[in-house]
Amino acid sequence: MNPGYAGRTELPDNLKALFRPVTMIVPDLQQICEIMLFSEGFETAKVLAKKMTVLYKLSREQLSKQYHYDFGLRALKSVLVMAGAFKRGDPDMSEQLVLMRALRDMNLPKFTFEDVPLFLGLISDLFPGMDCPRVRYPQFNDVVETDLAEKGYLVMTNPTDQVDKVIQLYETMLTRHTTMVVGPTGGGKTVILETLSRSQTKMGYPTTLFIINSKAQPTHELYGLMDPDTRDWTDGLLSSIFREINKPLRPDHENDRYYLVFDGDVDALWVEDMNSVMDDNKLLTLPNGERIRVQNHCKLLFEVYDLQYASPATVSRCGMVFVDNKNLGYQPFIYTWCNTRGDRLEEQEQLRDHFQKYVPPCIDYVLEGLIMGELTKPLLQTIPITNLNMVRQLCTLLEVILTPELTIRQAPVRFLKL
């Protein structure tokens, strides 16, 4: 099965001859959608199933090709489950509006900055003349904004800001027990996870993050090792934590939440052993035969740069939230850094003015080759960096220069005589 995956090989021809060939057909997605919609109580299931399958077909064809995109059967099922929950929550709402809301809320979090308007255009074409407001969580939204402000972050009003990404992660985790937060460095993935944890704690659901760098140790140290000679079992890092957090909660801690975060690259060499955990089985099977079931208070999170080395089987089992650094840019970092200058209000204003005057044209010149609106050849970068990387380096240098305690005064001047 799947010889193209890492760590697997093709069967030799002499062994293939001993097997009987079988034929498999593609499942009828429209019929599956229609049956599930009927089971969820939709009366116009036939029409809605057709629209849903057409939307996913057009999305596969017209949207950009990304490793974390999945428009398969598991993605369809999660949307149908969410649509059923919406319908039971508001029976008077139009069925088309219910499905439109589920399709939008379950798919928008994973799209890149450029694909969002394309997908919204496809939805508006299939559901013409319909305007569907987003589900609001006013109390949770206020707690998230307050937490970000307390940490010194800029709370933006843009609909694609960090607050919205925290809400999207929360909504995705309502339907999936395994979620991947994907995006380039500097997009704010760690801030989103930590903000969600603190916000849920403030709302009476104490949340604890257990962070593991899955590539920092060999696979046997991650899952555990069974000695073939002595049959002695050595517990692994993941198996030990996983067993501990999936114990039944005590009555006085029934609202606790435990999130296991895998911070690092995802590849088939180690993550394939977790496929049974990420699908509906929710079981981790260890090399010693022990089986640990994922409890409702436990969730799995992956914080990754991209899914280039992950198999489609792994991608289809997870909910996706894509954090694009284009949504935030570097302006919030400048704002936050200027606020760290303490009570020096005049200095803060001068720094902001200088940043606005000099930083944007310099970045345009380095990355795009733009000089006074004229396009030239961009500078050659030995190590490619983003605009946020450059701004952070500039702020670090300014921190050293503007902080008297870090500045060496009256340094001796030395001359080298050649």
pLDDT digits (tens, 9 = 90+) for 89-128: 888 888 999 999 899 988 988 998 889 899 999 999 998 8
Which alpha helices (DSSP H) does 151-236 contain, by range? 162-175, 189-202, 219-223
Q: Are 73 and 96 in contact (CB under 8 A)?
A: no
Distances (CA, A) of 128 to 86, 123, 254, 337: 20, 8, 45, 45
Which tokens hold the place of 83? Answer: 């649509």
**3-state secondary structure labels for all residues of 133-164:** CCCCCHHHHHHHHHHHHHCCCCCCCCCCCHHH
Query: Which residues have a Cβ under 8 Å from the Cβ of 31 and sit 6 or more positions away?
Result: 49
Give 35's contacts (C-beta < 8 A, 6+ positions apart). Answer: 45
User: What do you get for the CA distance between the two ends of the chain, in Å?
Assistant: 70
| pLDDT at 1 exceeding the cut of 70 | no
Hey, what amino acid is at 55? L
Neighbours of 189 (CB within 10 A): 25
Residue of 292, 283, 279, 281 lying closest to 318 (CA atoms): 279
pLDDT tier for residue 332 given thresholds of 50, 70 and 90: confident
pLDDT at 93 (0 to 100): 87
DSSP code string of 214-247: TTSS-HHHHH-EE-TTT--EE--HHHHHHHHHTS
Q: Identity (one letter) of the amino acid at 73? A: L
Structure-token pair, residue 80? 């149908």
Of the two residues 347 and 299, the one the predictor is more confident about is: 299
The residues, any chain, with a CB within 8 Å of residue 155's CB and separated by 6 or more, are 145, 148, 149, 161, 163
| Domains contained in the chain, CATH given | 29-126 (1.10.8.710), 138-325 (3.40.50.300), 331-402 (no CATH)
- Average pLDDT score over residue span 360-380: 83
Which of these, 70, 331, 287, lies nearest to 182 by C-alpha position? 70
- Contact indicator for 114, 67 with CB cutoff of 8 Å: no
Apex 402 CA angle, 413 and 358, nearest 5: 105
Angle at 306 between CA 176 and CA 184, to 5 degrees: 105
Q: What is the pLDDT of residue 178?
A: 92
The alpha helices in 43-91, defined as continuous H runs, are 45-62, 73-89
- Tokens 């650094």, located at residue: 325
Question: What b/e string do you get for 85-98 counting C-beta neighbours within 10 Å, with b at 16 or more?
Answer: ebbeeeeeeebbbb
CA pair distance 55, 417, nearest whole angstrom: 74
- Measured in degrees and rounded to the nearest 5, phi and psi for residue 72 equal -90, -160
Residue 274 has pLDDT above 80, yes or no: yes
State the pLDDT confidence band at 258, using cuts at 50, 70 and 90. very high
pLDDT band at 52 (very low <50, low <70, confident <90, very high): very high
